[in-house]
Amino acid sequence: MYKLLIVDDEIKIREVLTEYGKLYNYEVWQASDGSQAIDMVAERDFDCVILDIMMPNLDGYTACRRIKSLKDVPIIILSARTQEEDKLYAFDLGIDDYVTKPFSPKEVMARVKVVIERHNRNRRESHEEVLKYQGIVVDIPRHIVTVDGSEIHLTNKEFDLLVYFINNPSIVISRNKLLDSIWGSDFYGIERTVDTHIKMLRKNLGTYGNLIKTVRGEGYKFEKE
């Protein structure tokens, strides 16, 4: 049974989503603020986290960053904020989906299902346990990347991009293909999301960031000699 964590300071929202989650056979847990959510994620493994942004004690953005640093868990933002910049900022943090309030509980559960399935599929498709190229080592089961022997921190999406590039060397890959493969065909973001994540991935890889080439008008390519 998949475990679902619902994080919102409004008890009515938590209760409605909990009721629907149980109807869809999820084991549902609740947290009323970001700090409580972080503690719960540290204590147990969840298959998906539904996270509000505007909460007391600790906002959803900060909670998202800390959760992503603790566990490789999909996060769906559920928020009253509808501005594009809010959504882009959330996706840049590595979230998997963004749902605005008011919402349909059935739609939220459908998105939870898609996010969990995509997350599990991406894990299965990373068929090799350890990937190596030059000074880059990617330990997939442990979700650890080292560069010249030093561990670096990548967000989940940066990690997935690196694995995808290493498994598909010397091929020009369009932004749409990357969105499809990493974020999923149901992703509602924009191509700029890919550019932002690749920019950060290059920065984190240091001198090896130059292996990810921009092919003007077409996309990106990971160059292997």
Residues of the chain with CATH 1.10.10.10: 127-222
3-124 belongs to CATH 3.40.50.2300: yes
Residues of the chain with CATH 3.40.50.2300: 3-124
Q: What is the pLDDT of residue 71?
A: 83
Q: How far is CA 92 from CA 65, 73, 84, 86, 199, in A?
A: 10, 15, 12, 10, 11
CA dihedral 49, 54, 58, 61 (to 10 degrees): 60
Task: Supply angle C-alpha 48, 50, 51, rounded to 5.
Answer: 130
Topology given in CATH for the domain delimited by 127-222: Arc Repressor Mutant, subunit A (1.10.10)
- d(C-alpha 66, C-alpha 41), whole Å: 10
Determine the distance from the C-alpha atom of residue 151 to the mean position of all C-alpha atoms in its chain, rounded to a whole number.
20
Residue 104: pLDDT band (50, 70, 90) is very high
For residue 220, which phi and psi values (nearest 5 degrees)?
A: -135, 160
pTM: 0.63
- Top mean pLDDT of 47-51, 79-83, 194-198 is at 47-51
